[in-house]
């Protein structure tokens, strides 16, 4: 439907979607701005991490250097790894996806814009807290994987490790929120007609990456919480003398850490699969094979983590399983490489600057992959474990596999960011300096490692054969730095001197090139219907029709921000997703959470507790401004023939978002149960009390009480689905009261138990399991009480039944947690020699 | 047989493979904790036989599911491309999971479990 001429339409859209300036810019939630903020902040942290790398290479250039002492060096290399992995690589890849995915899918925004904004601010504040530690000379110094017992209190008594544990956990909120957002947007907010098999390959890659984050990050979040509880509260998890096991940390860390490599690589490979066919001027060869390969890589990457632990004393057969899986993962990666080569072979390639970086990627990443296969072999792995060879390998994989495609992507999408084209000359200089410098640094470093130089040594004596290769590596690293500076200068200059970009300047096939350059906050004034995998190639008039407002949802007079909600498989329109506008809430929540973080760091627990309460109130306010709330622009009904707004349905994006969030939550809980069973099985000095500290009957009664409340809620929701809201307010209030009663009972059980979490790992894990259950039950109780209140205000009823249905999933999840906790804590020990 | 066209078919093969892998590693660890076989007996012992048997059963299940998906992909009409895509990708992923299971389980026939 068209309300007027395109210019008038753009003006109307600008009024609803426009970004405020000045200090109110902190309220912006739309994905284009948030994506750009992620990219710019990631660039800042990249430069910070790069400067730390320069310090490392300056220190190692010559033997017996006194440029840095051992303590400073430990902080510098730990921060280099931490910044590059957590503050650059992952946020950069997610930021680019946040920017690109809605545009590629033909949508106006991601489905939870406030969540995107919260993720960004958590990333910024968490990153700044972590970076500040270096300037306070209190930076983490136990290596970026923080192995216990080195990172435990007796061996790291300062706050250095706390900065890492709290700062990184804070930043990880950002990674997980963006992942939830991306999964749901890809599955539920595609352009009409964009069936699964018509989805751009980049969306498949990002879907896989996001699901990997959802399942892969929680084990590290759990590990960080446990280690911080051990350090700050004296609880026992990794302390052998109290029945813990430091190897548990290694498992939790690498359960996250190895998928992390592919979490970084897969989106970069997605960029390659997007950019390369455009310059080869033909569709990618083997679309379906690539989809299968991406999924396979995503899954198998979770079965490799123990190859980082081959030297800790795991049985040979177990090592062989992980060795085989580590070799196997090269095959789906190889399928993608052959697909790219075949696309070039069968296409009519044209060589612009992005193609140079793709060439660099192919050479370096394949070399890194081959040394990866070498490291998968157990005997070789033992030989080079903890040497510079491993450092060289990981830089080949990560710089080759992520940085080179990223720069290719930056050059490719520069017209999007500036409306101008990049320069070829400086771009080529930048590439060759980086490519040459990189290989000089890291190819030689393999040799240094094979000569036996350990990683993380702050200096070395002359005459060990390491002098020349270290000097060569250091020279190479400075050449690489000059190359990166050249690229940065080129990008900066192009904003002033670049030639104005024509629409779709590379003649690409994907929908992000149908926007203005640079794009408006709302992306498109009308949303396309696609009938092809390559819409801009096969529907040449589509971009113009969209700009003229001749496609779908071309009305904004109602004042709402809207985009299509479509079926996950068929891409058929199901509802209109009603998006929230700009708000201070995400910024405020992140700011208050950073107070919590700092409060915990300086052990000002009263401040941290108070800030936690404030954050909870803000989050509840956030949930209040939803659906039929008067600030949501609900006055004007949808146009005749259009589907309903999502909160008038039973199955909008929030339901999917809750499902994906609970998957992440479940991964954390599963990792906790893994820790419980792991310690029972292999902890060297596992200690079980003679008498169970738990009231088994009380716990059973508690689980039964929760079951009763959940079944009641289920009946209420079933009635609501049938269109009946009779007694809704009272029933929801009663369910909430029952749930909160159960929470109070659980708290009483914990209070009156004989748990000694500072005494044994056994009791510490039980305390965390019960604390986890209690937190979730209280959350569910308060949330459903709030729903009862919303019914009272008329925001929830049979015409707007959505929110209680979304929350129902949390109650079912909690029920699963309580009963599995009962089985694990009460029933299992009696079968395993315990009480 | 509409379940063969459900989008969960796409990752199902690798989900089954993942569950098998968890069972394999935890089964080995628990087996070694409760009754480690004698290392001198080599790879032919109760634990390896259990792990190998479970692996073969998983392979059989995955092969069956792959065949079902493949047949389902051949049954759909020309205008049901989304269904065909799901069934074909599902069949391929199940087959990939078969290969992954066989390759990773291979050391069971060559190594004793608990040393």
Res. A630 pLDDT band, cuts 50 70 90: low
Residue B37 in domain: yes
> CA-to-CA distance for A264 and A402, rounded, in angstroms?
6
- B85 with A303: Cβ contact below 8 A: no
- B111 with A324: Cβ contact below 8 A: no
Residue A441 has pLDDT above 60, yes or no: yes
pLDDT in tens, A79-138: 999 999 999 999 999 999 999 999 999 999 999 999 999 999 999 999 999 999 999 999
> CA-to-CA distance for A32 and A52, rounded, in angstroms?
30
Chain B positions touching A299 (Cβ under 8 A) are 11, 14-15, 17-18
Cβ–Cβ < 8 Å for B65, B81: no
Res. A627 pLDDT band, cuts 50 70 90: confident
Q: Which residues contact A370 (CB under 8 A, 6 or more apart)?
A: none
Q: Which of B24, B26, B113 lies nearest to residue A315, judging by beta carbons?
A: B113
Phi, psi torsion values for A62, nearest 5 degrees: -130, 155
Residue B67 in domain: yes
CA-based torsion, A93, A96, A99, A100: positive or negative:
negative
Beta bridge partners of residue A565, listed in sequence order? A575
Query: Region A311-336: what's the mean pLDDT?
Result: 94
Domains and CATH numbers, chain A: 511-579 (no CATH), 613-831 (1.20.120.80)
Residue B43 in domain: yes
Using DSSP, state whether A498 is helix, strand or coil.
coil
Domain region containing B32: 9-108
DSSP element (H, E) containing A90: helix A90-105
> CA-to-CA distance for A186 and A573, rounded, in angstroms?
14
pLDDT in tens, A4-37: 577 888 999 999 999 999 999 999 999 999 999 9
Residue A633 has pLDDT above 70, yes or no: no
- Which ranges of A625-691 does DSSP label H, i.e. alpha helix? 653-682
Structure tokens at A58: 């300056």
Residue B32 in domain: yes
% of chain A surpassing 90 pLDDT:
92
Q: Please tell me the predicted confidence (pLDDT) of residue A161.
A: 96
- Alpha carbon of B94: minimum distance to chain A alpha carbons (Å): 10
Residue B8 has pLDDT above 50, yes or no: yes
pLDDT in tens, B24-66: 999 999 999 888 999 888 899 999 999 999 999 999 999 999 9
pLDDT in tens, B58-109: 999 999 999 999 999 998 887 788 889 999 999 999 999 999 999 999 999 9
> CA-to-CA distance for A648 and A639, rounded, in angstroms?
15
Residues A160/A165/A171/A172 CA torsion (nearest 10 deg) = 160
Phi-psi region of A243 (alpha: psi -120 to 50; beta: other; left: phi over 0): left
- A296 with B100: Cβ contact below 8 A: yes
Residue B114 in domain: no
- Which ranges of A645-760 does DSSP label H, i.e. alpha helix? 653-682, 696-721, 728-752
Residue B3 in domain: no
Using DSSP, state whether A561 is helix, strand or coil.
strand
Other beta carbons within 10 Å of A458: 18
- Alpha carbon of B26: minimum distance to chain A alpha carbons (Å): 9
- A296 with B96: Cβ contact below 8 A: yes
Q: Please spell the DSSP secondary structure of A11-52, one letter per residue.
A: HHHHHHHPPP-GGGGGG---HHHHHHHHHHHHHHHHHHHHHH
Residue B48 in domain: yes
Helices A802-822 and A653-682: angle between axes, nearest 10 degrees: 10
User: Tokens 């030989």 sit at which residue?
Assistant: A383
Q: Please tell me the predicted confidence (pLDDT) of residue B77.
A: 82
Res. A641 pLDDT band, cuts 50 70 90: confident
pLDDT in tens, A239-287: 999 999 999 999 999 999 999 999 999 999 999 999 999 999 999 999 9
* Chain B residue whose CA is closest to A570: B82
Report whether the peptide linkage leading into residue A280 is cis, meaning its omega lies within 30 degrees of zero: no
Residue B115 in domain: no
Q: Please spell the DSSP secondary structure of A215-252, one letter per residue.
A: HHHHHHHHHHHHHHHHHHH---SS-GGGT--HHHHHHH
* Average per-residue pLDDT for chain A: 94
Structural domain total, chain B: 1
CA distances from A658 to A109, A116, A129 (A): 19, 15, 29
Q: Which residues contact B58 (CB under 8 A, 6 or more apart)?
A: B16, B17, B20, B101
pLDDT in tens, A727-775: 999 999 999 999 999 999 999 999 999 899 999 999 999 999 999 999 9
Least confident range of A502-506, A552-556, A584-588: A552-556
ipTM: 0.96
Question: Which residue numbers of B have CB closer than 8 Å to A's CBs?
Answer: 7, 10-11, 14-15, 17-18, 21, 24-26, 28-30, 32-33, 48, 81-82, 85-86, 88-89, 92-93, 96, 100, 103-108, 110-115
Q: Please tell me the predicted confidence (pLDDT) of residue A640.
A: 80
Q: Which of B10, B81, B106 lies nearest to residue A295, judging by beta carbons?
A: B10
β-bridge pairing A561-566 and A573-579: antiparallel
pLDDT in tens, A406-428: 999 999 999 999 999 988 889 99
Res. A3 pLDDT band, cuts 50 70 90: very low
> CA-to-CA distance for B54 and A19, rounded, in angstroms?
58
Q: Please tell me the predicted confidence (pLDDT) of residue A2.
A: 43
User: How many Å separate Cα A633 from the centre of its chain?
Assistant: 31
């Amino acid at each position: 439907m068209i309300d007027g001429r395109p210019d008038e339409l753009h003006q109307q859209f600008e009024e609803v979607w426009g970004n405020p300036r000045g200090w109110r810019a902190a309220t912006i939630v739309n994905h284009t701005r948030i994506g750009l903020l992620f990219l710019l902040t990631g660039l800042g942290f990249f430069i910070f991490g790069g400067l730390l790398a320069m310090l490392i290479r300056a220190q190692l250039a010559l033997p017996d250097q006194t440029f840095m002492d051992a303590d400073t060096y430990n902080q510098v290399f730990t921060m280099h790894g931490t910044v590059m992995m957590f503050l650059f690589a992952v946020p950069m890849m997610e930021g680019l996806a946040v920017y690109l995915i809605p545009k590629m899918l033909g949508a106006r925004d991601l489905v939870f814009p406030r969540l995107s904004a919260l993720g960004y601010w958590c990333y910024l504040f968490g990153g700044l807290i972590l970076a500040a530690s270096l300037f306070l000379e209190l930076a983490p110094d136990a290596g970026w994987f923080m192995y216990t017992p080195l990172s435990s209190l007796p061996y790291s008594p300062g706050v250095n490790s706390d900065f890492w544990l709290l700062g990184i956990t804070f930043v990880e909120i950002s990674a997980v929120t963006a992942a939830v957002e991306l999964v749901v947007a890809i599955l539920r907010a595609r352009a009409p007609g964009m069936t699964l098999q018509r989805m751009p390959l980049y969306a498949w890659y990002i879907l896989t990456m996001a699901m990997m984050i959802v399942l892969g990050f929680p084990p590290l979040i759990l590990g960080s919480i446990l280690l911080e509880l051990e350090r700050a509260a004296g609880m026992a998890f990794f302390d052998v003398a109290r029945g813990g096991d430091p190897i548990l940390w290694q498992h939790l860390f690498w359960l996250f850490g190895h998928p992390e490599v592919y979490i970084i690589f897969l989106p970069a490979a997605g960029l390659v699969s997007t950019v390369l066919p455009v310059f080869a001027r033909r569709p990618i060869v083997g679309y379906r094979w690539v989809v299968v390969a991406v999924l396979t890589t995503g899954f198998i990457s979770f079965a490799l983590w123990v190859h980082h632990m081959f030297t800790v004393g795991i049985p040979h057969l177990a090592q062989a399983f992980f060795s085989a899986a580590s070799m196997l993962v090269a095959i789906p990666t190889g399928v993608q490489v052959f697909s790219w080569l075949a696309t070039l072979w069968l296409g009519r390639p044209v060589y612009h600057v992005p193609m140079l970086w793709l060439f660099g990627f192919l050479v370096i990443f394949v070399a890194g992959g081959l040394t990866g296969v070498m490291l998968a072999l157990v005997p070789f792995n033992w030989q080079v474990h903890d040497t510079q060879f491993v450092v060289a390998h990981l830089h080949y994989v990560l710089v080759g596999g992520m940085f080179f495609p990223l720069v290719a992507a930056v050059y490719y999408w520069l017209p999007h960011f500036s409306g101008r084209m990049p320069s070829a000359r400086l771009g080529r200089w930048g590439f060759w300096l980086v490519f040459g410098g990189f290989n000089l640094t890291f190819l030689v470093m393999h040799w240094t490692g094979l000569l036996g130089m350990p990683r993380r040594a702050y200096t070395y004596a002359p005459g060990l054969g390491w002098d020349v290769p270290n000097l060569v590596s250091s020279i190479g690293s400075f050449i690489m730095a000059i190359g990166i500076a050249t690229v940065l200068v080129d990008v900066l200059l192009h904003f002033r001197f670049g030639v104005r970009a024509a629409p779709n300047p590379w003649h690409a096939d994907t929908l992000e090139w149908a926007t203005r350059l640079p794009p408006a906050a709302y992306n498109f004034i009308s949303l396309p219907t696609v009938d092809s995998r390559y819409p801009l190639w096969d529907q040449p008039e589509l971009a113009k029709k969209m700009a003229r407002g001749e496609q779908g949802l071309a009305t904004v007079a109602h004042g709402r921000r809207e985009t299509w909600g479509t079926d996950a498989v068929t891409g058929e329109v199901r509802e209109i997703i009603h998006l929230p506008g700009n708000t201070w809430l995400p910024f405020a929540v992140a700011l208050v959470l950073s107070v919590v973080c700092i409060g915990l760091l300086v052990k000002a627990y009263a401040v941290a507790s108070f800030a936690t309460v404030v954050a909870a109130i803000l989050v509840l306010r956030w949930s209040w401004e939803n659906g039929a709330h008067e600030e949501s622009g609900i006055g004007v009904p949808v146009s005749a023939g259009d589907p309903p707004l999502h909160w008038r349905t039973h199955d909008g994006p929030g339901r999917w978002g809750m499902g994906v969030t609970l998957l992440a939550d479940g991964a954390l809980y599963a990792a906790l149960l893994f820790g419980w069973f792991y310690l029972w099985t292999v902890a060297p000095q596992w200690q079980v009390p003679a008498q169970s500290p738990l009231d088994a009957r009380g716990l059973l009664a508690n689980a039964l009480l929760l079951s009763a409340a959940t079944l009641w809620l289920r009946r209420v929701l079933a009635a609501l689905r049938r269109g009946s809201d009779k007694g809704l307010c009272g029933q929801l209030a009663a369910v909430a009261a029952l749930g909160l009663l159960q929470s109070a009972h659980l708290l009483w059980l914990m209070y009156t138990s004989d748990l000694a979490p500072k005494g044994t790992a056994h009791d510490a894990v039980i305390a965390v399991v019960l604390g986890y259950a209690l937190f979730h039950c209280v959350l569910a109780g308060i949330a459903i009480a709030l729903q009862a209140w919303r019914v009272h205000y008329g925001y929830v009823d049979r015409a707007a039944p959505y929110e209680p249905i979304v929350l129902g999933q949390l109650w079912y999840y909690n029920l699963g947690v309580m009963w599995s906790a009962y089985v694990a804590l009460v029933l299992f020990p009696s079968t395993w020699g315990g009480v | 047989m509409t379940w063969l066209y459900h989008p969960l078919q796409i990752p199902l093969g690798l989900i089954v493979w993942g569950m098998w892998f968890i069972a394999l590693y935890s089964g080995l660890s628990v087996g070694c904790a409760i009754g480690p076989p004698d290392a001198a007996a080599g790879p032919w012992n109760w634990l390896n036989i259990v792990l190998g048997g479970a692996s073969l059963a998983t392979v059989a299940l995955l092969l069956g599911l792959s065949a079902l998906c493949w047949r389902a992909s051949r049954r759909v009409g020309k205008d049901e491309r989304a269904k065909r895509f799901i069934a074909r990708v599902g069949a391929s992923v199940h087959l990939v999971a078969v290969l992954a299971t066989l390759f990773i389980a291979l050391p069971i026939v060559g190594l004793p479990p608990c040393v």
